[in-house]
Amino acid sequence: MARRPESQEPAQELDARKAAILEAVVTEHIDTAQPVGSSSVASSERVGVSPATVRSEMVALEREGFLSQPHTSAGRIPTDRGYRYFVDHLRSGTLGPTQQHTVREFFDTVHGEIEDVLEQTSTLLSRLTQYTSVIVGPSHTHATVRSVQLVDLGPRRVLVVAVLSDGAVEKRTLDLDHDASVADVADASAQLNGLLVGTSLDQRVEVPSRAGVVAELIRAATGALFDEAPILDGDQLFIGGSSRVADAFETVDTVRSVLGILEQELVVVSLLRDIIDSGLSVSIGSEHGIEPLSACAVVVAPVSIDGVPAGAVGLLGPTRMNYPEALLTAQAVSEQLAQRFGGEDSRRA
């Protein structure tokens, strides 16, 4: 895991001209996907020198690890480090008006449960940016139980439904060994409520070890709820526009390996978490240490609901992705999500 806290490895500063040249190379390469030559850089606005001068500077930038050359007679392409410098020194801009409008309109019209909204948001993000989007929903592990109910489903089948304080619903089917009467189920349901309301799904619960059908029901229900919850649920991941992966890369092999990673929810979720935890918003190429993603960059914006970290919004593209736009889009969407699912204050605002 290549965390890169600024404090330990101070971002090496480049003089203004080198910085301008690097920026020109990065933007041009992001645009054309081709190696960038000295003359093209020299003709850029913010670089006021001749190609010859640019060349000598490029040699220096290459020596310092910001640029590389596919082969001797080719232009330069940015290295991961070059992109890193670029994003670390981005002048913050604003999202284009069209995109702003699309985002606003989307959040004005979208409705439904949080899962549905996140699902659709992931599609929005991918449509806006042309990259694959990745959204991690809030984790339920710290929510507390608001209500538990047993519902009779048929012979020897009972469903436990638990509503959590954050509005999530957990359900478990119980297959019983003995018949349970309607009264038994109601009784157990009431007792479960008293027992579990207020607890959180990751804590242990003391179940009185009495005998009898009702006690049996209670034990089965708590067991099902508390033992299976953290394993299967964990975090919810929504991926939008996975077909964009095929746009981002030229070889089927790369596409395959990136898709392969996207299939592993756990890996993706912890990747996003790692990036956020290390205080960054972008992870480039080999920085994140996931080999199959070494041709990818990931842009992340954390989503905080009422000040509490509650998920993240991410975009996955090639290292030569459009960082400024991706960052702004992710941030805009993350803010909207925070507002939408925040407390009264922000919701009524």
Partner DNA sequence: TGTTGGCACTCAATTCTACTGAGTGCCAAC
Partner DNA sequence: GTTGGCACTCAGTAGAATTGAGTGCCAACA
DSSP 3-state of 126: helix
- 50 near DNA, rule: CB under 7 A: yes
Q: Of 59, 90, 153, 308, which one interacts with DNA (CB under 7 A)?
A: 59
Q: C-beta of 320: minimal distance to DNA in Å?
A: 16
Which of 11, 33, 52, 153 lies at the binding interface for DNA (CB under 7 A)? 52
> What is the x/- site pattern for DNA, positions 215-254, by CB under 7 A?
----------------------------------------
Residue 152's binding partner out of a second copy, DNA, none, with CB under 5 to 8 Å set by partner kind: a second copy
Alpha-carbon distances, residue 130 vs 95, 241, 291 (angstroms): 15, 8, 23
> Residues 8, 72, 98, 109: which binds DNA (CB under 7 A)?
72
CA dist., res. 44 & res. 24, Å (int):
7
Structure tokens of 115?
A: 């899962």
What number of other Cβ atoms are within 10 A of residue 133's Cβ? 29
Q: How far from 222 is each of 165, 180, 186, 209, 214, CA to CA, in Å?
A: 17, 17, 15, 12, 12
Name the site residues for a second copy (rule: CB under 8 A). 111-113, 116, 146-147, 149, 151-157, 159, 161, 163, 165, 167, 169, 171-173, 175, 228, 232, 241-243, 245-247, 249-253, 255-257, 259-260, 262-263, 344, 347
97 CA to centre of own chain: 24
Cβ-in-10-Å burial (0-12, 13-18, 19+) of 93 comes to exposed
| Residue 154 beta carbon to a second copy: minimum distance, rounded to whole angstroms | 8
Instruction: Using CB under 7 A, list all residues that contact DNA.
Output: 17, 34-40, 48-53, 55-56, 58-59, 62, 69-76
